[in-house]
Chain A
Amino acid sequence: MHSSTSSSEDAGIEPSAFRLAVGFLAVLISLTVLGARLIGRAYQPSPLSVGRAQLDKSPNLLVMFGNSRSKAAFDLALLERELGVGAVLFSGGGWHPIHYYQLALLNAPLLRPGRDCVVLDVSLLSFQGGSPPERLGVIRPDTVLSIASLPGLPAESRLDMLFGSTNNVYRYRSQIQGQLLEPRLTRAAEATASLLEKFGLEGPAPTTPRFRFVLDPSRDFVMKEIQGDLAAFQEAAREKLKQSLASFEVAPYHKVAAEKTVEELRRHKIDVVLVSVPLGRWVTDRLSAKTTWRQHQAWLDELARREGVKILRDWPEELLDERNFYDGHHLFGHATEGVSREFARQVSALLPPREP
């Protein structure tokens, strides 16, 4: 690429800097990526695959791929006691089948056929489309090509993942900001409180919050209770859900990702159980009235038949009571035990033979 296309009119005028521009841009982008890679090495992300220690500790592992609903629903310690296996949950807020596919690619080669089992969240809510898939920044370099080539993904999502795979700084920028920078900056900002008070510039908020979240101290991001006006919170949560459910549609790339997840695990002869995490009765009634619900159940049946896996989706009515859910689809901490016991009861017969 050079300026031989310049016409004779350019003679005597400042020469083209096209070559300089191309070279400069190439150097700039390369150095930026290299710099980001070097700096990013300082950040250690959470593991997304089972470790040697976990495999050595337990002759049988129950590995769960899920999101915040799974996190709220399943008590791993209880499952370990009830089932006599080691239990591991890989989950993230807002995770969906694209994340599960990454987990399958990372874990399938490590898990042991005939001994370990993967439980995969297939709740319809996890397949929601309508906008570009979120939280794809955690896609790791060793899985990015498989995931970026999923059919139907928006171009920007693919590019975002591909660039993220080149360096930790971009890939984990939300975590870097939220876990490293923000706490430090917040502490520094709050240190000005005494100075502000001296000048009368510190005082109470004009309104008390209508409700306050109290997290379960033993389980991150699981709600123990909501203090204050619970009815107001639930009304606001339902209003949001109503809008979301009104335009609910399944994203085709989520279905493809889920199929590939199961295929990858089955290719390595790992047992798989598909589970629809329980939702509150209000949400279930509205979702099940939709055509997408029936289509989703039929698709699950076909996937299970094709891959030789089981589905757990029937829950006792008392577990779907609205009082167990704080926002209609996330369980309170006090309801986890009931759901976990029922899950253990149902899944026990489906697990590979447990070694003593």
Chain B
Amino acid sequence: MLFTSFHWLLFLLGTFLVYHAIPRGVRRWFMLASSIYFYSTWSAIHLLLIGGQLLVDWTCGHFLGKTEAASTRKRILAASVCINLGVLCIFKYYELFSGTLRGLGLPLPEAHLTLPLAISFYTFESMSYTIDVYRGQLKPVRSPLHLALFITWFPHLIAGPIIRPSEFVPQLENPPHVTRERFFSGMNLLALGYGKKLLGADWLARVADPCFNEPQNYTSLELLLAVYAYAFQIYFDFSAYTDIARGASRWFGIELPENFKDPYLSTSITDFWRRWHMTLSHWLRDYLYVSLGGNRLGNARTYVNLALTMLLGGLWHGASWTFLVWGGLHGAWLAVERALGVKANDEPKGWRLWGRRVFTFHLVCLAWILFRAQTFEKALGVLRGLGAMKFHLVAGRHLPYLGAAFILLVYWLIAPHRAVVEGLQPTTTRGVLAYALAGVVFLLALLVLGASTHAFIYFQF
């Protein structure tokens, strides 16, 4: 069920009502059952796969806790990583690699496997549990229920944020009841999410989609605006999902981490990856980059590790060579910035600050062209169109671009006050009524103006 469907809304409300009405002792089981139901509405058969991976990692964690012998612990870890990555590779990447090799003449069979929903997300989370236990950063989780909930917690199951067991599992021990503050801040997050998705991302898609589908029909200015529109479409779309996931979780007393921090105000690509999809970049840093040696093995090796981490990070997003090149671009830029001594916490001032922000934004947009275009041919078509230097609009096609400009203007006005919006909490009866009235107006705006049939972009990963 999509987050923008009635099925989901009914499911969330029903789960919220029942959760707080039943005895505490059964609430975790209820949430597990709810999460299983949630995933089964997408694909019941793939529940077996999640269950299998969970069982593997719980067992590995259990035995890691029982043995001190380094070689045995290494073998257990290797088993967990191989099984998890093996499943991911088979379901997600077999067709990409086998198709490419078949194109080169190798007679490999086609598999026609259905991609399990959210496999990229839950595989990474499941592996992080075993790795953290191996590293001694986490004690093995005693209760399989807690581990199962960590993976399947329904608000975040489909598209993150990617959480760590050390962040999540302790919260299950004694989740708080819903207080006034949690309820209203959760509501505010839900509102931010739905606003960004239905009034932002889905309308920006109407600017970006035609231009990326048939770039030869659009002028350079239209293509440029479409690239900008896509940059904000994917940001609104993905951050909306995170907001909805966090808001819903807060209603059940669980805090999920933030995933974005004004990414388009980054002053470098290094800074960008500390603001964009933060839970993924932290995962890649802690489990891939550090495991490869990080920056401990000299400059040359550091650059290689950066590039490799981002290459694989790109491939994580999808089984397509364009994602690989997208990741590779970011990896190359990170390496160049490392060589130039650029730091994420650099604080340039004045025109240098905005100059770096604009430059970084355009670097990111350049890479987004590959991310969105899905084929190299379409990406080249967009780049060719941009290079044609036809900087004008066309009569009869103004509305989408002006609409996009309006959406971005509204966002620019609201964004600096996000913390205020998130923390809004009526404390008096009059305040509650005013809040309710504002909520009604907002919902009516969603009903009239939100015509979404777009699934969240990151659902495909």
Contact = CB atoms under 8 A, between A and B. Distances in A.
Per DSSP, are chain B's interface residues mostly helix, strand or loop, or mixed? helix
A177 B23 CA distance: 47
Nearest to A3: B177
A27 B219 contact: no
A156 B6 contact: yes
Given A21-B183, A189-B399, A169 B448 contact: yes
A20 interface: yes
Contacts of B299: none
B345 interface: no
A5 B21 contact: yes
Interface stretch (B55-63, B319-327, B438-446): B438-446
A173 B398 contact: no
Contacts of A17: 178-180, 182-183
B171 interface: no
A176 B448 contact: yes
A185 B203 CA distance: 14
Interface in A188-223: 189-190, 192-193, 196, 200-207, 209
B451 A174 contact: yes
B393 interface: yes
Contacts of B216: 206-207
A5 B219 CA distance: 63
Contacts of B217: 205-207, 209
Interface string A32-58: 100110010000000000000000000
Contacts, number: 139
B70 interface: no
Contacts of A282: none
B17 A22 contact: yes
Interface string B1-12: 100011100100
Interface stretch (B146-154, B155-163, B384-392): B384-392
A340 B222 CA distance: 45
A77 interface: no
Nearest to B385: A206
Contact of B447 (A36, A186, A205): A36
Contacts of B399: 182, 185-186, 189-190
A196 B448 contact: no
Interface in B215-230: 216-219, 221
Contacts of B394: 202-205
A203 B390 contact: yes
Interface stretch (A7-15, A109-117, A261-269, A324-332): A7-15
B215 to A, nearest CB: 9
B218 A206 contact: yes
A296 to B, nearest CB: 27
Nearest to B441: A35
A7 B385 CA distance: 65
A6 interface: yes
A127 interface: no
A186 B396 CA distance: 8
Contacts of B444: 32, 35-36, 39, 169
Interface residues of B, number: 54
Contacts of B443: 28, 32
A308 B240 CA distance: 55
Nearest to B16: A21
Given A169-B447, A204-B394, A206-B385, A10 B17 contact: no
Contacts of A31: 436-437, 440
B24 interface: yes
B428 interface: no
A232 interface: no
B166 to A, nearest CB: 22
A159 interface: yes
Contacts of A6: 24, 177
A18 interface: yes
Contacts of A185: 399, 403
Nearest to A30: B440
A170 B447 contact: yes
A160 B6 contact: yes
B53 to A, nearest CB: 28
5 contacts: A2-B21, A160-B6, A189-B399, A205-B218, A205-B397
Interface of B: 1, 5-7, 10, 13, 16-17, 20-24, 41, 174, 176-183, 216-219, 221, 251, 385, 388, 390-399, 402-403, 432, 436-437, 439-440, 443-444, 447-449, 451
Q: What are the 3 closest A-B residue pairs judged by CB atoms, nearest first?
A: A203-B392, A159-B6, A189-B398
